[in-house]
Amino acid sequence: MTTTAPDTVQELVEAWGAMGALWGINRSVARVHALLMATEGPLSLDEIAERLRISKGNASMSLRELRTFGVVRQVEAPGDRRDFYVTEPDVWTMFFRILRERKRREFDPALEAIHRLLARPGAQGEVRGRLQQMGDLLATVEGVVNRFLKDPASTRAALALVAGLPFDRRKKRT
């Protein structure tokens, strides 16, 4: 039993998988990620596929995606031909990297359209105000994401403040 507690791990895997949708990554990918998060040592591709009851092919593709997001890393075992995988420990970074990706693909076109509309001379009151709000919203999210990627520590602290969190946990790490 290499993991904390099999059945609860299972629950986390499922919950994380469902939540993946929230930030736009698919169920399998998120489940693989959760499994690695909840497991101490590195896992081989086959073990992952087996534990999650998904095909090797699916596992392989999911791991690739996680690697391109930079949240999973391959490690090698001494005299073993297989590849093993571990998560980067930083979930926050993962979250924001993925957001940045989606920002590019989805925010930017929307922002462009909004600005184009605002530039039109004929943009009236009601509409103008709403468009501006949309722009503000997108710009704010964008700003937070960018700032986080530049300076994670301070952004995290700032967000904790905004969130009004007790703000104790975390061992410190500067």
Q: What span, in angstroms and rounded, lies between the C-alpha atoms of 55 and 80? A: 22
| Integer angstrom CA distances of residue 145 from 27, 48, 59, 77, 167 | 23, 31, 29, 36, 21
Token pair recorded at residue 106:
């989805």
We find the least distance from the C-beta atom of residue 130 to DNA, in angstroms, to be 22
Q: Which stretch binds its own copies (CB under 8 A): 43-51, 55-63, 71-79, 143-151?
A: 143-151
Contact between 142 and its own copies by CB under 8 A: the answer reads yes
For residues 38 and 89, is the Cβ–Cβ distance under 8 A? no
Q: Enumerate residues 89-118 that contact its own copies by CB under 8 A.
A: 89-92, 95, 102, 106-107, 109-110, 112-114, 116-117
Q: Which stretch binds its own copies (CB under 8 A): 43-51, 52-60, 70-78, 136-144?
A: 136-144
- Contacted by 155, from its own copies, DNA, none: CB < 5 to 8 Å by type: its own copies
Q: What span, in angstroms and rounded, lies between the C-alpha atoms of 135 and 112? A: 9
